[in-house]
Chains A and B, each alone.
Chain A
Amino acid sequence: MPKGKRPLSPHLQVYRPQLTSTLSIFHRITGVALFAGMALLVTWLLAAGAGPGPFAVAQGLLGSWFGMVVLLGFSFALFFHLCNGVRHLVWDAGWGFELPQVYASGWAVVVVSVLLTGAAWAYGLTMMGGGS
């Protein structure tokens, strides 16, 4: 049989999505998203170094509704990757491998990431309201 036309074994689509597999791939997706987030941070730092004019342009873009949506995604991706990364480090140390623990830590990661994102934005928006 020609090399490109061999039958393929069943792949991911035959399995019901589960919290475990979803969080696993989401860790990689958020990792790649954070690459884009770092590009934003680098741009912001370069703008700050370049002077008040370029910095005002960068702040204006980040402060627009579109910029805020991107920053919301960046911050959630960062918190998710942080929390799930800690979960991975705990596993690396050999703890938390029982199935109920794996699900409990998985849901904890989801809830804590959302709470931390909310807390960071509440703090940031309060500081913005404070002026200067």
Chain B
Amino acid sequence: MSPGSAPPPGSAPQGAGHWWVQRLTAIALVPLTIWFVPSMAMLAGKSHGAVVAWLGAPLNAMLMASLLAVTFTHLWLGLESIIEDYVHAGRRHIGTMIAMKIAVAGMALASFFAVAKIAFGG
């Protein structure tokens, strides 16, 4: 930073936290994805009863909820970085950021609701 210039925009203390959570969620997603893909392949073409019985099992419901929570956190941070880089500062930047956060949070809530409904047999 040259003398007399304004400090760059953005929060210095928040950057490291963003970086760490992005990596920690990435590490957690390795085993969760290795569980998820074969599970989905196994369920391909199965009946409603078979899918609900599988997802209603406590271990599967917990792993699915974990996968959803970690994925949506990782997605939130990743899309934040992409919007920071490609959507220039201003109204469009703020609008895109808010729309993304509403979409990701809405998807997360809807998916938790669906898993809970199946897991608790509602």
Contacts and interface: CB of A to CB of B under 8 A. Distances in A.
Q: Do A and B bind each other?
A: yes
Interface of A: 28, 31-32, 34-35, 38-39, 41-42, 45-46, 48-49, 51-52, 55-56, 59, 63, 75, 78-79, 82, 85-86, 88-89, 92, 120-121, 123-125, 127-128, 132
B63 interface: no
Interface of B: 23, 26-27, 29-30, 33, 37-38, 40-52, 55, 64, 71-72, 75, 78-79, 82, 104, 107, 110-111, 113-115, 117-118, 122
A81 B37 CA distance: 13
A56 B47 CA distance: 8
A59 B45 contact: yes
Contact of B41 (A46, A79, A123): A123
Contact of B75 (A34, A121, A128): A34
B48 A32 contact: no
A45 B52 CA distance: 10
B48 A132 contact: no
Given A78-B37, A120-B41, A92 B115 contact: no
B59 to A, nearest CB: 17
Nearest to B26: A85
